[in-house]
Structure formats: structure tokens, C-alpha cells
């Protein structure tokens, strides 16, 4: 039996639904990526705010020590005697903001990578066009929002080009990876890894559908951990319930067969006695 399952390429039966578990794993994976990005951005903003506050106190202290408006203006511009360099600080702020913007674009690009993977894993031309239309509609909206944000933030042109190219390239990369894995045969016939990737891609699409609804009640990484813990608890209860139900079914079948066999033996003994 084991050899037959290995040759057929089928997985053994599990007490939980593996497809739903893989899809939920993709959902929580994208949830974790977004929360980590928010944690990083928040920490950088807090650090920048603390640096700005310290800088203001230093400037005020310098103003008290210097006399005359001309000296105050020079102090504000150069901050001599305290080693401040506003040009260097602005350069550091520019680098940090550029890296932060790139990180946000990469986080959005992970969505697009798995969406492109979902397109590449399709087997029929009709399914490919259907998924292409759905992914394109979502990508157009996200690209428009990114463009508006880049214009509003006054991002440099070369940074905007890098961001847009990164965001545009990942979907094609996902489609190419899906085609290489499947080769037009469909995810089910291409192997276990293709099925797993398609399940993860499905989970990311589910996250894209529902994250706007869930965003209103999200409070941070702690809520993510609680959500994962609750999900794991429900999966464990489902697995225990399925295993208990299977054991009860086996015992019931055994008792039914045993009672039938016992009654048959009693009938045979009664017939032998009458003879």
C-alpha cells in the first residue's frame, strides 16, 4: 500500500485539510511581512523624532551661549562648537527615507510576486487570462497609489524609477517562475512543490481581498501573534476531533462486525443442536 501511494505521488491522509492549511499559511505569511514592515518604519520614525528633539535642545543651548542675532544665525546654520552638521543629517535622513521607501515597495512586491506565480501556475489559456485580468486590475490600483505617494513625498527621479521598476518586474518574475515549475501541465500534475506554491499564492490573494477590512482593527505584531496562536489552537482541535472521530468509526465498525459474527456463530450452533 505504501509503495502504491509513493508511485501515485499522493500524500497520506491527514486529520486536517492540507490545502486550506497551506492557503492560511500564505495569508499569515503576508500578514507577517506587512507587520514587520510597519514595525521597522515605526522604529525608524521614533528614532528620527528623538534625534530631532535632541538637535533642537542642542541648538537652544547654543543660542543661550552665543550673543547677537548674527552669531545666532551662524550657530543655527553651522552649530559650531557642538559638532553638528545639518548637511550630513539631511543626507542621513535622505538615505533612511530612501531605504524605507524601497522596503515598502519590496513588501508590496511580495504580493505581486505570488500573484504572478498564481498566473504562471495555471494550466489552461482561459484560466491564465482570467487570473491576468484579476491581477492586472489590482496591480493598476497599487501602482497608481505608489505613483501618487512618490509625487507627494517629492522622491528623487532615479529613486522613483528604481521603485517602479522593482514593483513592475516582480509580477513578470512570478509568472516566469510559475511557467518554469509547471510548464503548462497544471500545478496538480507538476509536483508537490507547485501545489504548495499555488496554495501560498492563493493565501496572498485572500489577504489582498480582506486586509482592507481587517486593517481597521489591527494593533500591531502582538495581534498577529495572537491570531496565529488562535489559528493553531483551532487547527489542533480540528485534528484531535478528526482523529477521535476516525477511532470511533473504526471501533464502531469492529463492534458491528463482531456482533454479526457472534450472531452467525450462535445460529450455527443452534442448527447443529437441532440436528
Does 11 score more than 70 pLDDT? no
For 197, residues 6+ apart whose C-beta sits below 8 A from its C-beta are: 117, 121, 178, 181, 187
Query: How many CB atoms are closer than 10 A to CB 37?
Result: 17
Cβ proximity of 75 and 66 under 8 Å: yes
Task: Say if residue 247 is exposed, middle or buried (CB neighbours under 10 Å; 0-12, 13-18, 19+).
Answer: exposed
Distance separating alpha carbons of residues 174 and 207, to the nearest angstrom:
17
Confidence band for 268, pLDDT divided at 50, 70 and 90? low
Q: What is the rounded distance in angstroms from the CA atom of residue 263 to the CA atom of residue 255?
A: 12
What span, in angstroms and rounded, lies between the C-alpha atoms of 227 and 209? 18
Q: Which of 40-44, 180-184, 248-252 has the lowest mean pLDDT?
A: 248-252
Compute the distance between CA of residue 31 and CA of residue 231 in angstroms, rounded to an integer: 13
pLDDT the model gives residue 262: 58
Is the torsion defined by CA of 245, 247, 250, 254 positive or negative? negative
Model confidence over 199-227: pLDDT tens digits?
777 787 777 777 666 666 667 788 888 88
Q: In this structure, what are the phi and psi dihedrals at residue 13, rounded to the nearest 5 degrees? A: -70, 135
The tens digit of pLDDT for each residue in 134-181 reads 888 878 887 887 788 778 777 788 888 888 888 888 888 888 887 777
Burial class (CB in 10 A: 0-12, 13-18, 19+), 270: exposed
Amino acid at each position: 500500500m505504501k509503495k502504491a501511494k509513493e508511485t501515485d505521488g499522493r500524500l497520506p491522509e491527514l486529520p486536517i485539510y492540507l490545502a486550506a492549511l497551506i492557503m492560511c499559511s500564505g495569508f499569515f505569511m503576508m500578514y507577517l511581512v506587512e507587520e514587520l514592515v510597519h514595525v521597522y518604519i515605526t522604529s525608524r520614525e521614533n528614532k528620527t523624532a528623538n534625534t530631532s528633539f535632541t538637535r533642537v535642545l542642542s541648538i537652544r543651548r547654543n543660542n543661550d551661549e552665543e550673543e547677537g542675532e548674527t552669531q545666532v544665525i551662524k550657530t543655527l546654520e553651522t552649530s559650531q562648537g557642538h559638532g553638528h552638521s545639518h548637511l550630513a543629517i539631511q543626507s542621513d535622513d535622505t538615505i533612511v527615507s530612501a531605504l524605507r521607501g524601497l522596503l515598502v515597495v519590496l513588501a508590496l512586491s511580495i504580493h505581486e510576486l505570488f500573484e504572478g506565480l498564481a498566473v504562471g501556475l495555471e494550466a489552461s489559456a482561459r484560466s491564465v487570462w482570467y487570473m491576468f485580468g484579476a491581477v492586472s486590475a489590482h496591480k493598476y490600483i497599487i501602482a497608481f497609489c505608489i505613483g501618487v505617494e512618490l509625487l507627494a513625498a517629492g522622491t528623487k527621479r532615479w529613486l522613483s524609477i528604481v521603485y517602479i521598476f522593482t514593483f513592475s518586474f516582480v509580477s513578470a518574475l512570478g509568472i516566469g517562475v510559475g511557467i518554469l515549475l509547471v510548464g503548462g501541465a497544471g500545478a496538480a500534475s507538476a509536483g508537490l512543490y507547485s501545489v504548495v506554491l499555488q496554495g501560498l499564492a492563493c493565501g496572498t490573494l485572500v489577504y489582498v481581498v480582506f486586509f482592507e477590512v481587517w486593517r481597521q482593527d489591527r494593533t500591531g505584531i502582538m495581534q498577529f501573534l495572537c491570531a496565529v496562536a488562535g489559528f493553531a489552537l483551532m487547527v489542533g482541535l480540528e485534528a484531535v476531533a478528526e482523529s477521535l472521530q476516525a477511532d470511533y468509526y473504526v471501533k464502531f465498525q469492529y463492534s458491528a462486525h463482531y456482533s454479526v459474527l457472534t450472531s452467525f456463530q450462535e445460529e450455527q450452533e443452534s442448527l447443529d443442536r437441532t440436528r
